[in-house]
Structure 1
């Protein structure tokens, strides 16, 4: 057992290994090399993944191709079966209606059958067989066969099963056209009472049925099989590749059809095999091929379609792409390895350059530390090289954090303007303070000998020395002025907030006073005498007047603080004007002032804040009525300018406004100092609030007045506030102005 306090050889070995690992991981060269190797692994992994993904996509594309082949044969088979079925139904109708329909060897019926055959490319012959089994008519140019056809499957099936639909039989060899193999499609022929009269047979040439498929060159893509539901093969292409007699001998296809009507599987396709290895379901001469297989059962007809595509053909392009990507991966691996080696070598050179720069920096370090002022040296690119102790104290940041940083990190405007100027510097905590900044140019040249100094060359390093002095004391008075201005702005904001809060506090008791005054005036709690009613009316009027003042002050405070929000909506001008005219009608009648409304019903529809727009009109009308003597008039008119903007004017024949007061007309709490308006109540906020409301809508409010003659107030809104048609207003966005 080791003695207490001693270190075992195993622990020393582990500690040494840890130091080596830390050294390796801390080496930039090692990290660069490891990064290059990692990148090579990632690139090759991605290429490998792409190759595997490409194989899956190629197999998926092959499966889609087999389904497309099956659908193509299905579409042609359905078209042929449907057309043949319709032709046989038409033929039955023609035989029933033609007088020679039941007479054997009619020339007219023969011509009709021949024309029908020639119009249908897939047909080899059309035959009408009587109930005795002998042919009554056919479309061939040869004479009618003298032998009976009652042994044919299409005749016995139609006679015995009494099926009214289309019957499809197994391929047979035509007796009329020797050597021709045909597929019989037949229908039972009956009279009006449903008795058996014979069979109508359409003999389809399978070579013509596959003509469309062969035009698509399916021999390069795969193969197709058309069979009956009982497994009898009607058609298989290409003939020299697929060797099947019945689908029942293909277990994989039978299993797929047993589960669903459409399926895509992967299995070996029975093909030509050697004679010694021949088995049921195959043809001697070849081997099975791994293929993608699409199986479909044709709806409404007794057909089964099988489309095949060899996996080897499906993966041909993938194998070519795999070879190309393998070559690309090899080239990229070599390129990344060479690039990594080059970067590592360049980093080694950079470390040597940094060592030389450090030695040069130490030569001038003694000079910088001896300075009492803040001294910062930086290169031609503005990067800080040294940072003396006085600078550390002034800016509150150590030199190690500022080396390599731009001089603008200390003085944002260090490179602009002339030398020896006042600038603003930033301490580490973000505090800005004024400084005086003086820059001198220092050339670091080499002198071969003391007797013959050699001037610095153009490629030698250039250093700038900046001397920074704190100018806070000189800027103290300017700072005090800025503080005074800030205090005034804060006081103005406090005033606005106070007015807003007080206005809200006053509205609640004022609403209660007005409400109780209205209740007392209605004599809800008992009868009051005339003197009491007069007092109640004074209370109500005074409360309403004070509430109007409070509302005006509240709106003004919101406008000044920028917290007034517009709730924009379509506003019909004539309705808003009519509503405001109704509100001032009684006041105008009491003062003997005539009101003239020249605003038509279809003048314009505005996109505006309805309450603010009405308040502006009401303020202008109220002022016009208030300052118009008895016998005068107030006229309101509106129109759309040529540029599409809206204009509304309120003109009166009142006392007018003094010219010297017009510049202060829209200032809050200002009223013209004359004897006339002193006899009227008011706060002087109405026009100021109206002006601010119109400004918020992007418009203008102007005044044109002549003392003793009258005043015209004009509102102008931009074209964007005017709807082209009332029906389009709803489609405009809120705040579109």
Structure 2
């Protein structure tokens, strides 16, 4: 029983032990299962992390076999990874695959790290490969573990940054080259205002050896002088953060030049600067000022009024004729009034045309500033003044107004029209046959006598036939028709050759005609035909009488010349004695005696002048007048003559207007004789003009001649008085004075002008004044 109990206890113990062992085994199995499940879960987690990682592993064994994630095949553009590295030849080009293979082998042998970039075929993705020798726990020895990154975005960014860096470097190089090659000095100062960089132009300007010397020695381009130093100016610019531009003088290449210096703040880096040589511009500015002053002085000498407005429509200049025409004081112009105010002042002074709506008229004139072409219009003023107004737009937006007083010109034009009508009436009532031919040999004008004498109908002449057609009509009327060619030669000589020729013809009806061709100043030719049938009978007698008259005239001229010399000697004696009396050699004279002596001296001077005139006149008529032949500036000569008589003109209460410029040029002649000619003409005009009158001396250049007109607004003369004045007479037939003229003055003027090869003409009408016209070649 006891043994049985022990057996039971042993069995129980054995069962308990077995139960314990079985329980422990079960618990151990469960623990292993739990650990296996944890390891498997960890493996799945690690595999998932590897799949989601930005870098994928690639294991390359020593024999070249590869293992890697399936996603890596997608990066390489394949469905699955190949077994060996060399089988990636369809993914990588030969050069890239060779480089990868060599790098992997090097890593397997040496354990050195590997880093390179791969671009699969097609170039859509860039892969960055980093790796080294694999851990023995991961793979057997000599295996390489590579990590592959998708570096597509980063590589693109790197390439973009590299391109941007290369472009920035190129831009910087180009900018540096541009600054270095710039012809103007440029420099850069650091925050301490020390020179750090200068270009070659700066080095040349300061005469330094190199830019390094300039920087080390701190050589400044601009001297400090009395003002702040360049560094102090740059410091102020750096502190204010605003650029500064100034004009200073500097010595450049040994020459003093005017420079425009600019300092520019460059953030917190410092201050950059450059200098522009404006010496030439300053010189041009000075030249422009001198030119403008000279131009305005020239405008002051013109007879036309000039008013200049700037782009702001303000009056900036007005010459003296403008001030005189419109009675404007210079001080008013100095205030630079606007255009509207100028027109208002002119209107207040009655110097603009009378218009119904003045504000609208003024607005229309404001449009002159915007016109592209000059505008011209006449102004007829209430006081009878006629102004020609020219509005010239200026390139700078301003306006130049020119006011030309054409009152006298219109009056002269009216006088000319009257003279033309008078000439036409005279032309038709002459007893001579007259016809005017143009340069094209066509008949331009003819009188009634011409058509009557040659039996020509008006319809034929109205067609303005050519000379050859006209001569065909005239030939049957001649005694010898073949002689009609002589008329044609005379016409040709007058129109084309500008020569005066003449001839005679006999008509079939017994008449004898004398014809002559005269070249006219306007380029036409005048054919005059005179019936000399009756005059031929008296021709011989007239020739004899003419010879006698010529001889008598020569005797008269010689007599006058001799008498002039004979008069001169006693006259000189009288003058000499009178001067001695006046000087007190014969004792002190009483006031009344001095007056007598002064009267004697004045009479002697006057008589001496008349004797000299008589001598010149007689020598001229005899063809013995000596004349110098030298170039003479005609306008300055006229100005001197007028200046000599300025006091007399003022004392007589007269106004003399001299018109012309030195551009008229020169003539060839005797200065003393020409001075006498124009002096006599001006003295005549002064003598004939009452107090308050006006004398005009105008000098103009024509095609081949110089024309001088001396006119006055005196009483004028009729035809008879005009003829007597030309002969040196001063009284009418009843003994009353016609007009105060200077005796032999006008005949002497005519002779002196003829001796110079010129022409003299005297025009006058009662109540319209007198005009003396001198034409010199």
TM-score by length of 1: 0.30
Greater relative CO, 1 or 2 (CA 8 Å, sep 6+): 1
TM-score by length of 2: 0.29
Name which one, 1 or 2, has greater alpha-carbon Rg.
2
